[in-house]
């Protein structure tokens, strides 16, 4: 099949942890024989090591400025204070060397060739499992255009994003997606949200074998979960955790696939299970001969995600995802395709305070970010400002943790894991009911 030089799959990573995800995206697209170019956008802070790994797999590794909504209010409601940086995704519209592209989140896993997506038009995407009249922005077809890019930034500036991330913004911008053209609705199998496995398990059993792209959306990413070296021996037929575990193991198989040594090791380990090339159909394989000793996906805290593991030396915690490591080398020695500045645009005010925003241009923010403190008094103000921002951020993080814990608890409840003797004891429920009725 001829290579299509004007079309590309595009992904994004702004930290070393997400680079692991991007690498898997590139590797599985290659393994399934795509005829399109592979592009990864990275922020300047990623390590040299990750960058080199990406260069092995992708046709282009493009350094882009980090764009952050810093919209703490909306991100708090989303339960993901870390997702402001997803505004960086908007830079994909600047890739005008391509006429049409498919964006894939770094936490997606491609199970087969999906080049047919290029037959769709901008903006095609699959429904979001949480609110199906919105599309999920983890997989979408778009046409790069500088005009669309500036309209999107303008929209961000004027209206912000209702979830603080790119998905809220894109849904508001492409607002007729839900009703206008059914061809722009990608089937769910092109963006199978991993949470759908337990929220609608019967549908997963009916249609899961048709899945083409799995999306590990939400807090838990495959790189947080250790590869299961000795999978279980006895699995109930309706075990959503087991299905997820299979996808996670497949993700690790793809991850290690980039070095021949690791691939060989893994092939030996999996030979009693399924051959690696067949793993794309794992979901239909009978979950027969394994004991479920895996950490439950919905309860990552039961096993330390960073636990040392012979096949998981790199598994990282969610907190590490958010760390911005800035190796001096990557800052001092930008590559030729790197923009001259490595600025993180501050769109905070644009999104959360419309009175302030309208007067501020991203470029202005960029300039003010780069300015040196004028004098000692200014430096002191900066320090006290930073301290109060830090304590505010800490209390935000505390609230986000509490929210996360409450969502996890609810998920466990919905999955039938009721803690009758503890949190869900009748006495506690009665107290909650009394509070509600007061």
Nearest residue to ligand UPG, by Cβ distance, number only: 165
Give Cβ neighbours of residue 107 (< 8 Å, ≥ 6 apart): 18, 21, 138, 215, 216, 217, 221, 222
Q: Is 217 in the site for Mn ion (CB under 5 A)?
A: yes
321 makes contact with Mn ion (CB under 5 A): no
Q: Does 12 interact with ligand UPG (rule: CB under 6 A)?
A: yes
In the complex, minimum distance from the CB of residue 351 to ligand UPG, in angstroms, rounded to a whole number: 12
Whether the Cβ atoms of residue 194 and residue 257 lie closer than 8 Å to each other? no
Cβ-based neighbours of 138, under 8 Å, separated by 6 or more: 104, 105, 107, 108, 191, 215, 217
Scanning the structure block, which residue is given the tokens 């299509």?
Answer: 4
DSSP string computed for 112-145:
S--GGGGGS-SSEEEEETTEEEEEEEEEEEE---
- Contacting ligand UPG within 206-225 (CB under 6 A): 217-218
User: Which option in Mn ion, ligand UPG, none does residue 71 bind, with CB closer than 5 to 8 A by kind?
Assistant: none
**Shortest Cβ distance from residue 368 to ligand UPG (Å)?**
24
Q: How far is the CB of 404 from ligand UPG (least distance, A)?
A: 13
Nearer to ligand UPG, 143 or 322 (CB): 322
Rule CB under 5 A: say whether 107 interacts with Mn ion. yes
Please tell me the distance from the alpha carbon of residue 74 to that of residue 227, in angstroms, as a whole number: 33
# of chain residues touching ligand UPG (CB under 6 A): 26
Q: How far is the CB of 138 from Mn ion (least distance, A)?
A: 4
Residue 257's binding partner out of ligand UPG, Mn ion, none, with CB under 5 to 8 Å set by partner kind: none
Give the DSSP letter of residue 34.
-
CB closer to ligand UPG out of 165 and 295? 165
Q: What is the DSSP string of 58-92?
A: -SEEEE--EEE---HHHHHHHT-GGGGGGGGGGGG
The rounded distance, in Å, linking the Cα atoms of 325 and 46 is 7
What is the rounded CA–CA span in Å between residue 307 and residue 405? Answer: 21
* Minimum CB distance to Mn ion, residue 221 (Å): 8
107 binds ligand UPG (CB under 6 A): yes
Choose one: 60-68, 127-135, 138-146, 230-238; the region binding Mn ion (CB under 5 A): 138-146
Q: How far is the CB of 286 from ligand UPG (least distance, A)?
A: 30
Classify residue 168 by burial, with Cβ atoms within 10 Å: 0-12, 13-18, 19+. buried
In the numeric block, the tokens 């500088």 are attached to 146
| C-beta atoms surrounding 385 within 10 Å | 10
- Work out which of 7, 14, 228, 249 binds ligand UPG, going by CB under 6 A: 14
Question: Which residue lies nearer to Mn ion by CB, 136 or 343?
Answer: 136
Residue 106: CB minimum distance to ligand UPG, A: 3
DSSP secondary structure letter of residue 8: E
Query: How many CA within 13 A on the CB side of residue 75?
Result: 25
Residues composing the chain: 438
Tell me, residue by residue from 73 to 92, as one string, x for binding to ligand UPG by CB under 6 A and - for no binding. Answer: ---------xx-xx--x---
Smallest distance from the beta carbon of 89 to ligand UPG, in angstroms? 6
Residues that bind ligand UPG (CB under 6 A): 11-15, 18, 82-83, 85-86, 89, 105-107, 136-138, 163, 165-168, 217-218, 321-322
Contact positions vs Mn ion (CB under 5 A): 105, 107, 138, 217
């Amino acid at each position: 099949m001829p290579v299509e030089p004007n079309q590309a799959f595009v992904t994004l990573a702004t930290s070393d942890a997400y680079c692991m995800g991007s690498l898997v995206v590139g590797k599985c697209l290659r393994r399934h024989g795509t005829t399109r170019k592979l592009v990864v956008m990275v922020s300047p802070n990623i390590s040299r090591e990750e960058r080199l790994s990406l260069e092995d797999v992708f046709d282009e590794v493009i350094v882009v400025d980090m764009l952050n909504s810093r919209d703490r209010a909306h991100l708090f409601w989303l339960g993901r204070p870390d997702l402001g940086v997803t505004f960086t995704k908007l830079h994909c519209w600047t890739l005008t060397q391509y006429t049409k592209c498919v964006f894939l989140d770094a936490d997606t896993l491609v199970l087969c060739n999906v080049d047919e997506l290029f037959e769709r038009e901008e903006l095609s995407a699959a429904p979001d499992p949480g609110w199906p009249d919105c599309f999920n922005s983890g997989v979408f077809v778009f046409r790069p255009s500088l005009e669309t890019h500036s309209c999107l930034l303008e929209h961000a500036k004027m209206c912000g994003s209702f979830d603080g991330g790119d998905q809220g913004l894109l849904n508001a911008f492409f607002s007729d997606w839900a009703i206008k053209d059914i061809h722009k609705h990608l089937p769910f199998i092109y963006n199978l949200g991993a949470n759908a496995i337990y929220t609608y398990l019967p549908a997963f059993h009916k249609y899961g074998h048709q899945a083409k792209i799995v999306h590990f959306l939400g807090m838990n990413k495959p790189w947080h979960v250790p590869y299961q070296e000795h999978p279980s021996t006895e699995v109930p037929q309706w075990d959503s955790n087991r299905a997820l575990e299979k996808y996670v193991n497949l993700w690790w198989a793809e991850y290690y696939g980039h070095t021949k040594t690791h691939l060989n090791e893994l092939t030996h380990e999996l030979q009693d299970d399924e051959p690696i090339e067949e793993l794309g159909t794992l979901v239909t394989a009978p979950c027969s001969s394994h004991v479920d000793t895996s950490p439950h996906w919905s309860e990552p805290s039961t096993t330390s995600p960073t636990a040392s593991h012979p096949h998981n030396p790199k598994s990282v915690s969610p907190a590490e995802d958010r760390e911005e490591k800035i190796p001096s080398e990557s800052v001092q020695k930008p590559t030729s395709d790197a923009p001259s500045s490595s600025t993180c645009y501050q769109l905070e005010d644009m999104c959360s305070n419309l009175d302030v925003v309208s007067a501020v241009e991203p470029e202005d923010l960029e300039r003010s970010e780069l300015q040196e403190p004028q004098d000692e008094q200014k430096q002191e103000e900066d320090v006290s400002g930073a301290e109060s921002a830090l304590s505010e951020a800490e209390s935000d993080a505390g609230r986000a943790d509490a929210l996360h814990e409450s969502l996890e608890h609810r998920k466990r409840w919905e999955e039938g894991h009721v803690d009758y003797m503890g949190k869900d004891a009748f006495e506690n429920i009665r107290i909650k009911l009394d509070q509600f009725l007061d």
